[in-house]
Amino acid sequence: MRPENSSLWQGGWYQAAHALASPHCDARPAGAQVDLLVVHSISLPPGQYGGGDVAALFLGTLDCTAHPYYERLRGLRVSAHFFVRRDGALVQFVDCDQRAWHAGASCYRGRSHCNDDSIGIELEGLEGEVFEAAQYGTLVQLSHALAQRYPIAHIAGHEHIAPGRKADPGAAFDWVQFQSRLGLPSIQFPLR
């Protein structure tokens, strides 16, 4: 971990985000070096935006009777470090020094168990649907802040760390725009 800018961070909590602490996290393994950002997409119900159900899922409070789709989520214990809403608003669920449960069975840059040494960022969206300019702006700002605090060397999508099992953020996510706006040439992006 690099020295933190006290105006941006309080421990592993990013001060520009609204904090909602998820119980779905645990300690990173000894020696884990956080060098990967994983970009995801999620909406609940799928394709519907603006509600509180994604937060409820990550907090373990989702009412699984509220929508037929939710029955398949019953008992699921998942989280991400961050959630970027369609309007660019940022919510943090897990201290970045802790392991969030976002990647599942995964492998990238020759390492498996990507939860161990990654930070998960969920964008409110659906595979195949375009993401909002405000979301890219927040994602770029957050990625810069994370790269100042952690030795981030790689950024990938869930689809890249769990190919065949996951497809998010999907073909509509503009990796070229994101990489260009981020402007950190030392960070490796997935091959397109």
Q: Is the pLDDT of residue 191 over 80?
A: no
| 157-166 average pLDDT score | 97
Which residue did the predictor score with more confidence, 77 or 191? 77
Active site residues: 122
pLDDT value at residue 192: 59
Q: Is the pLDDT of residue 2 over 60?
A: no
Q: Is the pLDDT of residue 79 over 90?
A: yes
Domains of the chain: 9-24+31-182 (3.40.80.10)
What average pLDDT does the chain have? 95
pLDDT value at residue 7: 87
Distances (CA, A) of 18 to 15, 56, 89, 132, 145: 8, 14, 8, 19, 15
The pTM of the full predicted model, rounded to 2 decimals, is 0.95
| 118-122 average pLDDT score | 98
Kindly indicate the confidence band of residue 82, based on its pLDDT and cuts at 50, 70 and 90: very high
pLDDT value at residue 94: 98
pLDDT value at residue 5: 57
Tell the residue number behind the tokens 């100042």, with chain if given.
Answer: 148
pLDDT value at residue 149: 97
Asked whether the beta carbons of 142 and 103 are under 8 A apart, the reply is no
| 44-65 average pLDDT score | 97
| 37-55 average pLDDT score | 97
Tell the residue number behind the tokens 């660019």, with chain if given.
Answer: 88
Distance CA 172, CA 129 (A): 6
Q: Is the pLDDT of residue 48 over 90?
A: yes
pLDDT value at residue 160: 97
Pairing relation of β-strands 18-19 and 90-92? parallel
18-42 pLDDT tens trace? 999 999 999 999 999 999 999 999 9
Treating both helix axes as pointing N-terminal to C-terminal, what angle do 133-149 and 175-182 enclose, rounded to 10 degrees?
50
pLDDT value at residue 1: 53
Asked whether the beta carbons of 121 and 142 are under 8 A apart, the reply is yes
